[in-house]
Structure 1
């Protein structure tokens, strides 16, 4: 189980990220595009074009950790700002985002199928 410090900051990378990137590519994006330190201990979240894949880059004090989650239904809700940079989320907003809920208004991003 992963545990994060109480003061951890969560940064969403705005825009579209090439989801083929790994540790080095995402760390370079954090440095060049977000103008942040990938070794700061903060969480950096990236989403691809389709919106069903989320990658998280995190320095745990010993090394970089790369987490990935793909939704089978729905998509990760991302801010619709047409610029690069980042947005900071609260822990509650992060929990909703990872579950595929709209962190601005907690509703699922997909509609369950109703059996007839």
Structure 2
């Protein structure tokens, strides 16, 4: 079951990743390179050099879940970011757009109405 939602925090690993890595190898990257706990419930996203494969590592309850998508044609479009950092945080909407192959270059978030008056 796909158990990801906007309640999760998503971290895109900034370096190309060897897609032969599985649970232990990817959780090792999270611990040793990013300095984070892979068992904290966050979702860690890894993309290969050709950008045609993506893996998502997520700890849920009693174990890891590994989501894997390989494209038959084309590449995943990534947001611009500084490659020197370990990872960048993505929101759920941007993750879904990347996975579904939608362009994220000209995406702008619109302002939404907020009622600052609190009525009893």
Match of 2:14 in 1: 14
Match of 1:42 in 2: 42
Rg bigger for which structure?
A: 2
Alignment length (residue pairs): 106
Greater CA deviation, 48-57 or 1-10? 1-10
Match of 1:61 in 2: 61
Match of 1:98 in 2: 99
CA distance in 2 between counterparts of 1:44 and 1:101 reads 20
CA-based RMSD of the aligned residues comes to: 1.6
Q: Give the Å deviation of 1:101.
A: 2.2
Q: Give the Å deviation of 1:84.
A: 4.2
CA distance in 2 between counterparts of 1:102 and 1:40 reads 30
- TM-score if structure 1 supplies the norm length? 0.82
Aligned CA distance change for structure 1 residues 52 and 5 (closer, same or farther; 3 Å): closer
Kindly report structure 1 stretches of 4+ aligned residues shifted beyond 6 Å. Answer: none
CA distance in 1 between counterparts of 2:102 and 2:3 reads 21
- TM-score if structure 2 supplies the norm length? 0.79
Aligned CA distance change for structure 1 residues 53 and 37 (closer, same or farther; 3 Å): same
Match of 1:31 in 2: 31
Unmatched 5+ residue regions in structure 2?
108-120
Q: Give the Å deviation of 1:4.
A: 3.0
Asked if the contact 1:8–1:41 (Cα under 8 Å) also holds between the matched residues in 2, the reply is yes
CA distance in 1 between counterparts of 2:76 and 2:6 reads 24
Question: Secondary structure in 1 aligned to 2:101?
Answer: coil
Match of 2:83 in 1: 82
Q: Deviations over 1:43-95 (max 9, x none)?
A: 10000111000001000111011110011222112245332411101111011
